[in-house]
């Protein structure tokens, strides 16, 4: 039986092995693309936290009840402090990463001087 949207304790049951296998196959080319474009794990991790919190807020809220920081934490495994911060900041899809690769800095400087 699949867990319901109301079940706030996904850590109690291990994910299906087939799902983990499928995720490995799905993520391998994505990670290759990310590495090729110098998107490091910390950048991806921050993005995933943001997406997890957004999905939990939008798609796993209980009817007629406020979605709490604790509930989002229990659904996603994202630390409560991070959940609170991300919910206060709002979506950051258009925010550039705080660090830039040397290549990106060189291109930016080159374009600025052209």
Task: Give the residue numbers spanning the domain of 35.
Answer: 10-93
Check if the beta carbon of residue 80 is closer than 8 Å to that of residue 86: no
At 86 the pLDDT is 96
Residue 93: CB atoms within 10 A of its CB come to 9
Q: Which residues of the chain have pLDDT under 70?
A: 1-12, 92-100, 111-114
At 4 the pLDDT is 53
- Residue 99, domain member (yes or no): no
At 100 the pLDDT is 66
The pTM for the full model equals: 0.67
Q: Where are the alpha helices (DSSP H) in the chain?
A: 17-36, 41-59, 69-76, 80-89, 102-113
Residues 54, 58, 59, 63: is their CA dihedral positive or negative?
Answer: positive
Domains: count for the chain: 1
At 106 the pLDDT is 72
- Residue 43, domain member (yes or no): yes
At 10 the pLDDT is 52
Structure tokens at 22: 């499928």
């Amino acid at each position: 039986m699949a867990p319901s949207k109301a079940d706030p304790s996904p850590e109690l049951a291990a994910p299906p092995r087939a799902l983990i296998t499928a995720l490995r196959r799905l993520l391998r080319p994505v990670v290759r693309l990310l590495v090729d474009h110098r998107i490091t794990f910390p950048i991806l991790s921050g993005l995933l936290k943001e997406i997890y919190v957004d999905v939990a807020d939008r798609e796993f809220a209980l009817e007629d009840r406020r979605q709490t920081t604790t509930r989002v934490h229990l659904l996603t495994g994202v630390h409560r402090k991070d959940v609170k911060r991300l919910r206060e900041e709002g979506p950051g899809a258009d925010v550039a990463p705080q660090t830039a690769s040397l290549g990106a800095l060189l291109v930016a400087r080159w374009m600025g001087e052209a």
